[in-house]
Amino acid sequence: MNKQIIAKEILKWYDNNRRILPWRKQLTNKQKEYFTLVSEIMLQQTQVKTVIPFFNNFIKKIPNLLALANTRDKKLMKCWEGLGYYSRARNLKKTAKIIIKDFNGRLPDSIELLKTLPGIGDYTSTAIMAIVFNKQFIPIDGNVERILKRVFYLKSEKEINKDNLHKKKSLFGKSNRPSDYAQAIMEIGALICKPKDPLCHKCPVNKICTAYKKNDFETKSKNKFNKVKYFEAEIYENNNKYLLIKNNKFNFLKNLLIFPMKEIDQNKFKSSFNKSINIKISNMDMRITINKIKKNKYFNNSFLIGKDDLKNHILPSFTKKIFNSIMRY
């Protein structure tokens, strides 16, 4: 199967099976730039089905790039609340300001310039170049990576490194519809070449897939080791209200409300008789012991918040999980 036939088969499949997504509807060029920028940033580390309602609400509240550049941080964080990885939202606003100031309100159609914008790296820049500007780029997300691993039967660490995957994507060749083509390949990974129980009989590239021929669909992931860290959350209660502080101490959840907490060593964590919970943030597994403290204490940038006040504050899911835990304590 030559590259032209591969492209033809993939686009044929896409035309018949593409999902209806809010950022794929008929848009002006300016809207397409904004919708793609917002959706691609949201889709970093978050699944499509999770992103859709957040995207719709975000666009309703902050409908264009100028509105984003001028929106207040409190409103921005409220629109982002529940998506996690809040640095993405802050970077999105920084990017909007730069585009308004330096690029006359339009996304630059240069991969090098795109990479200078906050929060935009290799994948997001190539996705924008393909989807928005209809350029010959194939972004490699987790879905495309999985297709390449199965088609070429890549199993070793050496075979699945970034450079080799970028070489292997030449399999797809070029298309006269670059925007649709890039999205089609990612769509096949999401809907057909799934991590478990792939629908190989429906796949437009199954004829060239080594994993399909061998009936072996296990794919090796790059070794990623989450750091395990131990913390003690200090719970100060006053008339059913709990003390939260603005986080300026830790690199995660910057400037968001958290319970006062400190990092502790593993031995202290294990020797504690307090209730504990596990929370995963980015590449860190957090083990948190809940220490209820009876005496009151004052912190700068602190707030007393009760259960009924939760909806009036922008709280990361991290804080809500601890809140729910102490409610059941």
pLDDT digits (tens, 9 = 90+) for 273-293: 788 888 887 678 889 988 888
Question: pLDDT, tens digit, for every residue of 97-149?
Answer: 999 999 999 999 999 999 999 999 999 999 999 999 999 999 999 999 999 99
Q: What are phi and psi of 47, to 5 degrees?
A: -75, 155
Which domains does the chain possess?
3-139+176-190 (1.10.340.30), 227-327 (3.90.79.10)
Closest CA to 249 of 296, 321, 300: 300
Is 40 among the catalytic positions? Answer: yes
Task: Write the pLDDT tens digit of every residue in 247-257.
Answer: 888 888 887 88
How many CB atoms are closer than 10 A to CB 208? 15
Find how far residue 120's CA is from the centre of its chain.
12
Question: What pTM was computed for the model?
Answer: 0.78
User: Residue 37 corresponds to which tokens in the numbers above?
Assistant: 């920028």
Looking at every residue in the chain, the average pLDDT score rounds to 90
pLDDT at 179 over 80: yes
Q: What is the mean pLDDT of residues 50-56?
A: 96
Find the catalytic residue in 33, 40, 81, 145: 40
Q: Which of 54, 98, 100 is nearest to 76 (CA)?
A: 54
What pLDDT shows up at residue 221? 65
- Average pLDDT (190-199) is 95
What is the separation of C-alpha 271 from the centre of its chain, rounded to a whole number of angstroms? Answer: 36
